[in-house]
Amino acid sequence: MAQLIEDYALIGNNATAALVGRDGSIDWLAFPRFDSPSCFASLLGSALNGRWIIGPKHERLSAKRRYLPGTLVLETEFTTDEGVVTLTDCMDRRGQHQDVIRIVRGVRGRVSMVMDLVIRYEYGTVVPWVYRNAAGQWQAIAGPDRIILDTPVEMYGEEMRTRAEFQVGEGEEVPFVLTWSHSYENLPAPLDAAATLNNVTRSWEKWSSKHTPEGPYCETVLRSLITLKALTHHRTGGIVAAATTSLPESIGGVRNWDYRFCWLRDSTFTLLALMDTGFMDEAKAWRDWLIRAVAGSPDQMQIMYGIAGERRLTEFELPDLPGYEGSSPIRIGNAASEQLQLDVYGEVLDAFYQARCHGMEKLEAAWNLQRSLVTHLEKIWFKPDDGIWEIRGPRRHFVHSKVMAWVCVDRAVRTVQEFGEEGPLERWIRLRADIHQEICRFGFSQELNSFVQYYGSKELDASLLLLPVVGFLPADDPRIRGTVAAIEKSLMHDGFVARYNTHTSVDGLPGDEGVFLACSFWLVDNYVLQGRMDDARALFERLLSVCNDVGLLSEEYDSKEHRQLGNFPQAFSHLALVISAYNLTGHKEKKPAHRRGATARKAAPQHSIAQ
């Protein structure tokens, strides 16, 4: 039976990542990038689709785990009738070579251990040729991929897998080093597992030291930041939305998507989370990735890109994998990359604006790019689109999309006024007012006393919680208060916020889904803006209780079954956590939760808010 999603922990090397179960099994790993075909895919199938388990041979009395403080080094402690052992896991990289380090240490007694390695390339479908090389290492080759396992433990082949049984006594260590490389390259040099573990630990500790602890949530925030760093590619600066594909939004359902790509929508959230917590190098790398990815004709801008800015993310299905707890289809690639989503124009302009406000150096190419995006948006903002939730149905005039079009123009106006850039200021000011007035006229329901999902609709949408956050209207505006109240009444389930009502939604997909965790953090931000601090803290701490034992969050949560859902760990959830924690700990005084325009420079007044 598959482990629960929250039973997994993440290890990685800033090129790819693995999920390690509570039982010591690595059930998901792709080489050499996050979005590469996996060699361990039992997460979406069975052990025969690839895994690597190291654990006690006999029944475990308990299994406790933790990350070493300030690191992505995972330590799992197994207690059995024979004694206690720890399994320490981490990842490293050496040029084109990538390593998984696993060290078993005896703590008490003498414990019998087993290892079972099943390598299946191409998402669990390709059985490699396995043999012992001249150096005594086990080598698995298929096509361009080669994996080498190096350990002093005696291993044997059985039923198309590699196995070992061994014992560990108190004070003893048994290392395992799994190394991936291209099959056509020279063999990588042997690795000292203990020395590599120490180097990886020190490297993470050095990185984490840039975070200055502050407030009651500092450790939780740091764990989220480490997770975001782990989802960042070391060469491109791109941050993937999650380490996995096709973990379901409802068990047994069809809402299973590939999240191993970089969404423009995350741009402002990412920059703010990194800049506010002291990680300016990472923020700059993300800003630079954004410029490269979006570069080109503005009418060809996509909502998401590959890790290096690739545009072709063709979606297809894998019929050979049954899916997590039978949830199929398994999708590779993402067809939503071809959608029209107007909100990304606002996110991109806001990201560049926030970077300038936080003192990031000016790039001439960045402003030229922004001007071209605003010019293109002038021609399309009035069109229906696919919306923030990438609904695979008819296009609508989604209110959140229109608001973010307003944000795009507003940030362009602010950039001219506050930073002296050149642009058609008066035309943009008029456009900003026109968009605002249309939204207030067609996107607000007097009957519901709330903004709605799309023009003419009677449905609500959690993305409406972002209206005061981006500064579209003040948090104390009656229309915003009415919207928050309506969402509390209609979209809250067991204290959490759903994206929208899937039973009456326009997405055309069957089934339900869990509550979307980022949306609940947005409600926290609204409570802060409205001065409802007790409500804000209560909801925030309820959200923290959903984190698993090592502080990780997926995309969604099933409040009935009390389990996490969706791809894991989810960058958007952790970004929202960091920002809400920042807002809760007194860094601002009733300004938009992302402090849009709240900088050392005095923000220019907004033009003629429609009433």
User: Please, what is the end-to-end C-alpha distance for the chain in angstroms?
Assistant: 57
Is the pLDDT confidence value at 603 over 70? Answer: no
| pLDDT tens per residue across span 541-565 | 999 999 999 999 999 999 999 999 9
* pLDDT-based confidence at residue 173 (cuts at 50, 70, 90): very high
d(CA 524, CA 518) in angstroms, rounded, equals: 10
Return the CATH number of the domain spanning residue range 5-184: 2.70.98.40
The four Cα atoms 268, 271, 274, 279 give a dihedral, to 10 degrees, of 180
Nearest to 398 by CA among 245, 505, 249, 475: 505
pLDDT score recorded for residue 607: 30
- pLDDT bucket at 33, cuts 50 / 70 / 90: very high
**For the residues 324-350, what does the mean pLDDT come to?**
95
DSSP 258: B
pLDDT for 503: 64
pLDDT score, position 598? 40
Closest C-alpha to 77, from 69, 13, 68:
68
Tens of pLDDT along 110-161? Answer: 999 999 999 999 999 999 999 998 888 899 999 999 999 999 999 999 988 9
Question: Which helix (H) or strand (E) is 97 found in, with range?
Answer: strand 97-118
Going by C-alpha positions, the residue among 198, 228, 217 that lies closest to residue 68 is 198
pLDDT at 428 over 90: yes
Mean pLDDT over all residues of the chain? 92
Bridge partners, 10 (sequence order): 19
pLDDT above 80 for 589: no
Q: Higher pLDDT residue, 262 or 391?
A: 262
Asked if domains 5-184 and 218-328+335-584 share a fold, the reply is no
pLDDT of residue 512 exceeding 80: no
Residue 586 pLDDT: 73
Instruction: Work out the pLDDT band at 396, boundaries 50, 70, 90.
Output: very high
Fold of 218-328+335-584: Glycosyltransferase (1.50.10)
**Nearest alpha-carbon partner for 44 in 336, 243, 198:** 243
Judge if pTM exceeds 0.85. Answer: yes
- pLDDT score at 47: 96
Helix (H, G, I), strand (E, B) or coil at 103: strand
CA–CA separation, 229 and 213 (whole Å): 17
Interval 321-333 mean pLDDT: 97
Residue 439 has pLDDT above 80, yes or no: yes
Task: Name the residue ranges covered by the structural domains of the chain.
Answer: 5-184, 218-328+335-584
483-501 confidence digits (pLDDT tens): 999 999 999 999 999 999 8
Decide if pLDDT at 392 tops 80. no
What tens digit of pLDDT does each residue of 223-277 get? 999 999 999 999 999 999 999 999 999 999 999 999 999 999 888 888 889 988 8
Is there a contact between 152 and 138 (Cβ–Cβ < 8 Å)?
A: no
pLDDT for position 214: 76
* Distances from the Cα of 250 to the Cα of 247, 510, 511, 561, angstroms: 9, 10, 8, 11
In this model, does residue 167 exceed pLDDT 70? Answer: yes
